[in-house]
Structure 1
Amino acid sequence: MERDGVERLLSEAGADSRRLRHALTLLCDARWWTLADLVRETATSRRTIEALLRELTLERRDDTFRVPLTHVPDYQDLIALAPPPEDPVAHLLPHYTHELDRLKDLVARAPRARHVLDHVSATPETVLRRALLLGARFWLPGTRLLCVGDHDLTSLAVKLVHPETDVTVVDIDERILAYIDDQRLGVRTRWADLRLGLPASARDHDLALTDPPYTPEGTGLFVARAAEAVKDDGRILLAYGASERTPMLAFKVQQALADLNLAYEAIYPDFNRYFGAEAIGSAADLYILRPTTKTRPAVTSRLSRQTTAIYTQGPQAVESAQSALSAPVEALQGFDPELLIGDWPKELTTPRARLSTWLSKPHAAAPDRVAVALPPGLEAVLPRLLLATRASHVRVVGSGLPSLPDVLSTVYKLSAAGGVLDAVRLPQPDGEAASVLRRILDNGHAKLANTWREALIAVARAQGASLTKNEARALIGEAAPWAEGLTPLEAPLHRLSSLPEAVTETVTALTRTT
């Protein structure tokens, strides 16, 4: 009898059988369910739900199913009579139907998930509920919120519900940054590969929110960067989930959090729901974490041991051996570098520096020839590696090197062959707009708007005119309102690509002004 198998499953699950009883309740309520919807609604792993379905005789219609209505009475004494724990912001949702409709459209049109970045999209209802919970728990007017990665578009939900919040996003995915900027909701965007550093302009926030890769390495890194970004009295909101079948994995992730000396203020079970991730029930808990006086030293220690392998898939997966390979010496044939960046064979005696150090500050020695080893999975950092130096010749060694944005052709003559890219610095250009653009790109670590301002003042002086700092700021603010506060290394590529036109606009306006 099919009931015997159901009773056996419930007995084996013991106190945790409420998950199965909830699923059974839903299957008996006359609605039709897909497997994905049932997994997400119950926040129970696909394997566990499939085990229950194997014990039931189901009525099917296309890809949906339910317990036949005539069989429902057989299970009445087994189902969960009480609902799961109440959603803390469920009572607010009916007041935000317009925002939810907008988010459904935004999520539907967003760039597709990239599996090598462990992307799984949260539902529109989830990102709205995150925004509502932030407003219910914290005072958001004037508050600075940092989204540490934002494939889910939580930043847009917060600006729709709480437009007075100051929101910034840091992300490695150029498509996401461009999409967020295209919505014109006032979210600041910054490019960052968190394995290599946090943008300087992404610090000193009140709140940080992250939905990281669900490996201990990935979660530990993203939360460490969030802790680096918030003030001493700030808060970190973390979405993390594991299957009810794998408590050891959850323990390893929580151990990574414990190593950061963070206090747990709250955990909302199964708060986040996803399109996919059925292995973990298409759900994740929401943690609220608070830094302690011991957090910053722990973060510094954690980041000093950071490796680049943090994902579950692709060349930078935790299990991947490629991340440990060093660049071949043969790639340096005919090239005598003064400085090596990245992982090179230990027998080379040339001075060297880490990729993260190279990106964080100008190199003190100002080398003329630099060789960079770019490991698989870090290709997105290539434009920033070239902008981080004024060396006359940079050789980059790596497999699958990506094409570079046209704006870099104003700085370098580029040639690539066989996994080697040579970037030879061009002489200073003629023309006022070209010289201003080049000055900005030659100062990759400096505030973009500051360099731009000083360059405009220099052009005005060469014309025999005067331009105040405030007048220069006004010209830049009109042509590129996004430019304030970030460096070329932090700027998303679509912003860098728009620089030539914006610079030309300010130089043209300068002539009229003076």
Structure 2
Amino acid sequence: MEALARQIAVYGVAGRPARHLVGLLTERAYPRDELIRATALPRRTVEELLAAIGPDLLDEPGGVRIRPELTSAYQDRFGIADLRATALADPLDRRLAQARPLVEDADRLIAAAPRPAAALDHVSATADTAVRRALWLDSRYDLAGAHLLCLGDHDLTSLLVAQVNPAVTITVVDLDERILEYLDTVATARGLPVRCLVGDLRFGLPGPARDWADLVFTDPPYTPEGVRLFLARGVQGLRDREHGRLLMAYGYSDRHPALGWQVQQAAAGLGLTFEAILPGFSRYLGAQAVGSASDLYVCRPTARSWSGLPGAVETGIYTHGPQSGEAAPVQADEEGVRAVEALAGPPAVRVGPGGTGARVRLATVLTSGLPAQLGTGAVAVDLSADPGTWLLRTLLAVNAVRVAVLVPNRHPDVSNQRGQTGLAALVRAKYRLTYLRNTPDRRSTVVLADRVRPGPSAADRLLAHLLDRAHGKLGNVWRDGLVQVAGLTRNGARDRIRGSADPALTDAALLDAALIDLPRHRLARVLADVAGSVADQESVSSTATLP
């Protein structure tokens, strides 16, 4: 017991969490992950405290606890009764108790959601946390009629907020196509006001999300670069520059406060004021190095926040994997890129990351397309660092006779027959795809996209019209295509779109988005509905190679 007392004394005035751990251990057996989550102490600190308890600690199948015959002595020695009597009440306790059915529903939703992607720094929040966030937002702000932008939403915050207050309108921007499909599927089934857009924030914010939101919520990568980027995109997403707020979940280990300082400096550099920091607000099913917890930052922008916002960012922003800040840049060597250029056919326009000899930066192509002055001949693209979403977006963004794209062999669109067939089906009215595996080396695949001439049907021509204008607003491009292909008036074309088989396509918010901003699952449905909006749709897949 004295060894534990000496250990806790080291923490000085910050010893309450350690005493809280002792109090928990006098109640029942706790698994280590629950102890970390309940106390928000880093795993290393928890292990040091358990080691200091020594032989007085029982390690049972259900977890660890202090021997029952010693619990009273430990409670007296470490003032557990006083600790509990002076603990602050959670202002959300009453609402959270009333929302237990919602917490149970959140638990089921989290269990059914796609598995966290470690390379994107995903760690699932607990069901309690997801509901607490929704309740806190509803208690703090007038959500009715407001716009909430979620930058990344593996924690399903959007679904819970929409259920707590269905009068709010929510847009989610995420890089993970799996989570976007899951959110969209649940929201559609439940009639929740949640719109999903795909976007790699390193390249920018999708057009429909810019200058749109009253509130922004994000749980960003826990690096200074990641926090700065996500908050900067949040600033770009605000429409209310005077009263808008950015809410950020961010946590750091109390063993490494300098890391927290670096992140706070990055946020402050954006001209954001910290209106409040709610410690330990969120809890996670993981992230034990930071105590499975994060603080909630309430940030208010100033006039300075809109000056000097970053454009495209090509540095690593994550803490793990090939896109992390410590990882070496992923790009093809010069010999490999020249091989891709040869496959595209000279003189090919080279597209790739900045600083690699590329004539056009990938960020430029994905956000606005290939510059018109470069023509529509041959294009060679280095996507060695593609996290999985760039290949499809590149084929949508580039209009050329032939495009040769270098991707890793493990890329989901090329690594198996299902991926290859699915990608080819989405762009078949624009390109015929050929997959050259283990080219130019055993780690890579080159995807050759050869331009095709639209088939004889109106559906073929309409799909080609749409795929050639992937950066235009879907509603406008579709309408103009119907006018051109089917000979409808503009009003007639609008009526035809409103009669779409997919009710979601009557949503002005979706029609306001560009094709390139739509998640893959939604893109497939849109293309099917576009083809169905003209009478002669019997030969959607009929195509012929251009001479």
Question: Does the TM-score normalized on the shorter chain lie above 0.5?
Answer: yes
Structure 2 CA distance for aligned equivalents of residues 479 and 212 of structure 1: 29
CA contact (8 A) 1:127 1:153 kept: yes
Say if 1:42 and 1:377 are closer, same or farther in 2 by CA, change over 3 A: farther
CA contact (8 A) 2:29 2:62 kept: no
CA contact (8 A) 2:480 2:490 kept: no
Corresponding residue for residue 38 of structure 2: 41
Secondary structure of the residue aligned to 1:82 is: helix
Structure 2 CA distance for aligned equivalents of residues 395 and 152 of structure 1: 37
CA contact (8 A) 1:460 1:466 kept: no
Give 1:384's match in structure 2, choosing from 372, 382, 393: 393
Secondary structure of the residue aligned to 1:322 is: coil
1:54 aligns with 2:48: no
Deviates more, 1:393-402 or 1:118-127: 393-402
Say if 1:60 and 1:378 are closer, same or farther in 2 by CA, change over 3 A: closer
1:74 aligns with 2:73: yes
CA contact (8 A) 1:88 1:133 kept: no
5 Å-filtered alignment, 1:169-248, equals 169-183=172-186, 184=188, 185-203=192-210, 204-231=212-239, 232-233=241-242, 234-248=244-258
Aligned partner letter, 1:434:
D
CA contact (8 A) 2:44 2:289 kept: yes
Structure 1 CA distance for aligned equivalents of residues 78 and 112 of structure 2: 42
Measure how far apart 1:326 and its partner are: 5.2
CA contact (8 A) 1:372 1:394 kept: yes
CA contact (8 A) 1:172 1:193 kept: yes
Aligned partner letter, 2:499:
L
Say if 1:79 and 1:34 are closer, same or farther in 2 by CA, change over 3 A: farther
Secondary structure of the residue aligned to 1:59 is: strand
Say what the alpha-carbon RMSD is for the aligned residues.
2.2
Structure 1 CA distance for aligned equivalents of residues 355 and 221 of structure 2: 30
Measure how far apart 1:51 and its partner are: 0.6
Secondary structure of the residue aligned to 2:180 is: helix
Corresponding residue for residue 429 of structure 1: 455
Say if 1:88 and 1:434 are closer, same or farther in 2 by CA, change over 3 A: farther
5 Å-filtered alignment, 1:129-148, equals 129-148=132-151
Measure how far apart 1:74 and its partner are: 2.2
Corresponding residue for residue 31 of structure 1: 28
CA contact (8 A) 2:429 2:454 kept: no
Measure how far apart 1:135 and its partner are: 0.9
5 Å-filtered alignment, 1:358-437, equals 358-362=365-369, 363-365=371-373, 366-400=375-409, 401-403=411-413, 404=420, 405=423, 406-417=425-436, 418=439, 419-437=445-463
Give 2:152's match in structure 1, choosing from 149, 155, 161: 149
Secondary structure of the residue aligned to 1:427 is: strand
Structure 2 CA distance for aligned equivalents of residues 353 and 49 of structure 1: 51
Corresponding residue for residue 480 of structure 1: 505
1:443 aligns with 2:469: yes
Secondary structure of the residue aligned to 2:69 is: coil
Structure 2 CA distance for aligned equivalents of residues 345 and 170 of structure 1: 27
Secondary structure of the residue aligned to 2:15 is: helix
5 Å-filtered alignment, 1:74-153, equals 74-75=73-74, 76-80=76-80, 81-83=82-84, 84-153=87-156
Measure how far apart 1:357 and its partner are: 1.3
Structure 1 CA distance for aligned equivalents of residues 73 and 66 of structure 2: 10
Measure how far apart 1:469 and its partner are: 4.6
Measure how far apart 1:66 and its partner are: 1.1
CA contact (8 A) 1:314 1:377 kept: no
Corresponding residue for residue 168 of structure 1: 171
Cα deviation, 1:360-399, whole Å, max 9, x if unaligned, reads 2132324422111113243321111111121111111232
Aligned partner letter, 2:234:
A
Structure 1 CA distance for aligned equivalents of residues 386 and 467 of structure 2: 25
Structure 2 CA distance for aligned equivalents of residues 9 and 422 of structure 1: 63
Deviates more, 1:259-268 or 1:88-97: 88-97
Deviates more, 1:8-17 or 1:318-327: 318-327
Structure 2 CA distance for aligned equivalents of residues 224 and 310 of structure 1: 13
Corresponding residue for residue 22 of structure 1: 20
Q: TM-score, normalised by structure 2?
A: 0.87
Measure how far apart 1:303 and its partner are: 3.6
Say if 1:268 and 1:147 are closer, same or farther in 2 by CA, change over 3 A: same
Cα deviation, 1:30-59, whole Å, max 9, x if unaligned, reads 222110001001111111111111122212
Cα deviation, 1:228-258, whole Å, max 9, x if unaligned, reads 1112131100000011111011111111111
Structure 2 CA distance for aligned equivalents of residues 35 and 500 of structure 1: 50
CA contact (8 A) 2:247 2:299 kept: yes
Structure 2 CA distance for aligned equivalents of residues 506 and 479 of structure 1: 15
Structure 1: runs of 5 or more not aligned: none
Give 2:278's match in structure 1, choosing from 268, 284, 305: 268
Measure how far apart 1:352 and its partner are: 1.4
Structure 1 CA distance for aligned equivalents of residues 20 and 316 of structure 2: 38
Say if 1:129 and 1:345 are closer, same or farther in 2 by CA, change over 3 A: closer
Secondary structure of the residue aligned to 1:310 is: coil
Structure 1 CA distance for aligned equivalents of residues 537 and 490 of structure 2: 10
Corresponding residue for residue 10 of structure 1: 8
Aligned partner letter, 1:428:
P
Say if 1:36 and 1:439 are closer, same or farther in 2 by CA, change over 3 A: same
Matched pairs, number: 500
1:281 aligns with 2:280: no
Cα deviation, 1:113-157, whole Å, max 9, x if unaligned, reads 111111100001101111111111110011000100000000000
Corresponding residue for residue 296 of structure 1: 306
Structure 1 CA distance for aligned equivalents of residues 193 and 109 of structure 2: 15
Structure 1 CA distance for aligned equivalents of residues 494 and 342 of structure 2: 51
Cα deviation, 1:185-211, whole Å, max 9, x if unaligned, reads 231000001111110001221011000
Deviates more, 1:94-103 or 1:114-123: 94-103
Measure how far apart 1:325 and its partner are: 5.9
